[in-house]
């Protein structure tokens, strides 16, 4: 380990030299309050910024043990520290100076969700933060005096402002970790309460806009109130007793007129797989961790999926037991999306009719009369939801605004009126008694077989040109895997690019388990087991500060959407 003044000497000696001279910086430097690690130096000012870490001993950082000793609190504290480091960068960094990314200090930028991240770590010995620095240059000449200002002026201020407990807002810190701990507790309680979701009274569900995850201002939003029949109390370890709406297992409809809050409620439930920061409005909206949003996905590729529970007897004898296509329709894509997530362990399907294929959701009486079942290969979801729950214990929450036929299969019906929820199950069942749909059930009463599939390792090739492996992302919803793009736009529960980063590398990591015998479910389970044991760092020997937690459901979904994928059905 070198002394901090040696870093200054190197920077002064390489000033104005060629950019590759920055390679001399790699190593460890001891400062008075922390250790600086320059792990990777970029080769060009326009390349990805250099990887840097800072480690502060707990004798200086001073975080009390009760802020990190439980797993729940540790993750929340790491998330909090990342946010504070990001704020400190904005406060003290002078930003871009010179060519390309010169002068930029950056760390994973969290949104409304509290996630396990590799940007920060805490234990009884130290606090560590991982971030990037764009080593500055003019043209391709080292700007050593600017780099010196970054490492010896800006960075010390950032560290003191964000990594020392005494300098933080202690009340906000404890609120952050206690809120997250309560949400973890509440989510675990769902199983004991036989629920699939819980929405606390007083929650602010609407967002500021369709492109903003921030909550609508309280003076413009209607706080959530629970219908009496679904209301229950839950005791949380920190907040104490809260009241809210519990959604039981089974089939639940969310109905109501347009713009009255149906999709807003469903969106809150779909993101209830995550904990949310204090002030988000959805802090105590939680859902079964294996809840999956399902939609139609025209144009996606599908690889040897048995969609016969929904679609049989396709024209021209096209196989639906081992269905493959490079350009799925709305109905075939939605069928494949459901079978794929059931294959890897989904517990709850979340479906909004607005993003579904109409012919996949319902065939009414009149259409059944005009187009006979013999000429219609699709068995709609309305006739499969009950068997799916009965045989596989997979519940459904559906937003339905246009088809009262779904009242026939519903266990619970929630009506949204002016963003207010009512339990109208009895009213819906009375309508069923008085008004027959006249439609014929098109299912034989069974859901059908869910076949596991075996991915073939050789079909997952991340090489690109001279590079053996090239994996990156383009925003949240695109993984660049070698020369191929994996489109994740239909994975609506992804919330961070650092999740996408991790999933991309997890696909490559998963290949170690692809031996031509293990199913996709087994492979993704083994990957998640490794992450559970060793953390997200297991995905790549190079330390990354830009990973965030993800589910095996999204990992499997990304693999399924790789167009080169080859799979065999497990016998």
CA 420, CA 445: separation in Å to the nearest integer? Answer: 35
Contacts of 532 (CB under 8 A, 6+ apart): none
Average pLDDT over residues 208-227: 91
Burial 512-528 (b: 16+ CB within 10 A, else e): ebbeeebbbbebbbbbb
Q: Are 537 and 130 in contact (CB under 8 A)?
A: no
Residue 464 pLDDT > 90, yes or no?
no
The pLDDT assigned to 465 comes to 78
Which of 106, 102, 96 is closest to 142 using CA atoms?
A: 102
Residue with tokens 């002394």: 3
Positive or negative, the CA dihedral 519, 475, 114, 533 is positive
How buried is 383 (Cβ within 10 angstroms: 0-12 exposed, 13-18 middle, 19+ buried)?
Answer: buried
pLDDT (tens digit, 9 = 90+) per residue, 331-344? 999 999 999 999 99
The pLDDT assigned to 18 comes to 94
pLDDT band at 259 (very low <50, low <70, confident <90, very high): confident
SS3 category, 254: strand
The pLDDT assigned to 404 comes to 92
CA 518, CA 499: separation in Å to the nearest integer? Answer: 25
pLDDT band at 95 (very low <50, low <70, confident <90, very high): confident
Residue 460 pLDDT > 90, yes or no?
yes
Average pLDDT over residues 458-464: 93
The pLDDT assigned to 357 comes to 96
Residue 510 pLDDT > 80, yes or no?
yes
Which of 8, 6, 22 is closest to 142 using CA atoms?
A: 22
pLDDT (tens digit, 9 = 90+) per residue, 475-493? 999 999 999 999 999 999 9
Beta-bridge partner residues of 285: 199
Q: Are 284 and 182 in contact (CB under 8 A)?
A: yes
Count, in order, helices (H) and strands (E) of the chain: 15, 30
Q: Are 283 and 179 in contact (CB under 8 A)?
A: yes
Least confident range of 165-174, 268-277, 365-374, 507-516 = 365-374
The pLDDT assigned to 36 comes to 98
The overall average pLDDT reported for the chain is 95
Which of 32, 50, 157 is closest to 102 using CA atoms?
A: 50
CA 109, CA 79: separation in Å to the nearest integer? Answer: 10
**Is-above-0.85 flag for pTM?**
yes
pLDDT band at 307 (very low <50, low <70, confident <90, very high): very high
Burial 210-245 (b: 16+ CB within 10 A, else e): eeeeebbeeeebeebbbbeebeeebebeebeebebb
What is the 8-class DSSP label of residue 152?
Answer: I
The pLDDT assigned to 369 comes to 93
Which of 196, 177, 290 is closest to 237 using CA atoms?
A: 177
SS3 category, 221: coil
CA 439, CA 382: separation in Å to the nearest integer? Answer: 11
The pLDDT assigned to 167 comes to 98
The pLDDT assigned to 314 comes to 86
Pairing of strands 2-3, 27-30: parallel
Q: Are 266 and 399 in contact (CB under 8 A)?
A: yes
The pLDDT assigned to 316 comes to 77
Which of 482, 488, 487, 477 is closest to 458 using CA atoms?
A: 482
SS3 category, 236: strand
The pLDDT assigned to 315 comes to 84
Q: Are 161 and 84 in contact (CB under 8 A)?
A: yes
Q: List Cα–Cα distances, 522 to 155, 366, 414, 455, 505, in angstroms.
A: 44, 44, 37, 11, 18
Residue 447 pLDDT > 80, yes or no?
yes
pLDDT (tens digit, 9 = 90+) per residue, 394-411? 999 999 998 999 999 999
- Geometric angle at alpha carbon 388, from 448 and 335, rounded to 5°: 70
């Amino acid at each position: 380990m070198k002394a901090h003044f040696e870093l200054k000497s190197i920077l002064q000696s390489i000033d104005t030299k060629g950019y590759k001279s920055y390679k001399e910086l790699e190593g460890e430097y001891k400062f008075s309050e922390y250790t600086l690690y320059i792990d990777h130096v970029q080769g060009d000012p326009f390349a990805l910024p250099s990887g840097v870490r800072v480690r502060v001993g707990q004798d200086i950082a001073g975080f009390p043990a009760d802020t990190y000793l439980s797993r729940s609190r540790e993750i929340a504290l790491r998330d909090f520290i990342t946010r504070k480091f990001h704020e400190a960068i904005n406060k003290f960094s002078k930003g871009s100076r010179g060519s390309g990314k010169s002068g930029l200090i950056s760390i994973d930028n969290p949104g409304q969700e509290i996630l396990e991240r590799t940007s920060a770590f805490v234990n009884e010995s130290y606090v560590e933060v991982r971030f990037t620095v764009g080593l500055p240059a003019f043209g391709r000449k080292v700007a050593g005096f600017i780099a010196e200002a970054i490492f010896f002026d800006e960075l010390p201020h950032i560290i003191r402002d964000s990594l020392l407990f005494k300098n933080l807002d202690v009340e906000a810190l404890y609120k952050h970790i206690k809120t997250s701990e309560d949400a973890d507790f509440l989510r675990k309680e769902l199983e004991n309460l036989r629920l699939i979701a819980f929405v606390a009274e007083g929650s602010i569900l609407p967002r500021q806009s369709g492109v903003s995850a921030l909550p609508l201002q309280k003076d413009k939003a209607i706080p959530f109130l629970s219908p009496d029949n679904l209301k229950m109390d839950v005791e949380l370890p920190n907040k104490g007793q809260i009241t809210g709406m519990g959604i039981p297992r089974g089939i639940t409809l969310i109905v109501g007129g347009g713009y009255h809050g149906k999709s807003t409620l469903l969106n809150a439930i779909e993101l209830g797989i995550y904990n949310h920061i204090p002030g988000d409005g959805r802090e105590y909206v939680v859902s079964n961790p294996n809840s999956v949003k399902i939609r139609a996905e025209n144009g996606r590729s599908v690889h040897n999926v048995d969609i016969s529970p929904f679609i049989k007897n396709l024209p021209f004898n096209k196989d639906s037991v081992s269905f493959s296509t490079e350009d799925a329709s709305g109905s075939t894509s939605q069928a494949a999306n459901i079978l794929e997530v059931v294959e890897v362990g989904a517990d709850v399907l979340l479906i909004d009719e607005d993003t579904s294929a109409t012919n996949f959701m319902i065939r009414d009486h009149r259409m059944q009369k005009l187009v006979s079942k013999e000429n219609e290969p699709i068995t709609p979801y309305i006739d499969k939801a009950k068997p799916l729950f009965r045989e596989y214990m997979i519940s459904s929450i559906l937003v339905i605004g246009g088809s009262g036929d779904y009242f026939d299969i519903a266990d619970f019906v929630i009506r949204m009126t002016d963003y207010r929820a009512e339990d109208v199950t009895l009213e819906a069942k009375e309508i069923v008694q008085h008004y027959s749909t006249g439609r014929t059930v098109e299912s034989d009463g069974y859901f059908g077989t869910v076949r596991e599939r075996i991915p073939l390792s050789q079909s997952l090739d991340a090489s690109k040109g001279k590079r053996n492996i090239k994996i990156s992302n383009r925003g949240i919803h695109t993984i660049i895997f070698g020369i191929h793009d994996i489109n994740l736009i239909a994975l609506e529960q992804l919330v961070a690019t650092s999740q996408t980063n991790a999933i991309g590398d997890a696909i490559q990591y998963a290949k170690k388990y692809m031996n031509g015998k293990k199913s996709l479910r087994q492979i993704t389970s083994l990957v998640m087991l490794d992450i559970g044991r060793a953390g997200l760092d297991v995905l790549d020997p190079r330390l990354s500060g830009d990973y965030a937690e993800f589910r095996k459901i999204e990992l499997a979904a990304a693999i399924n959407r790789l167009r080169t994928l080859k799979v065999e059905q497990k016998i």
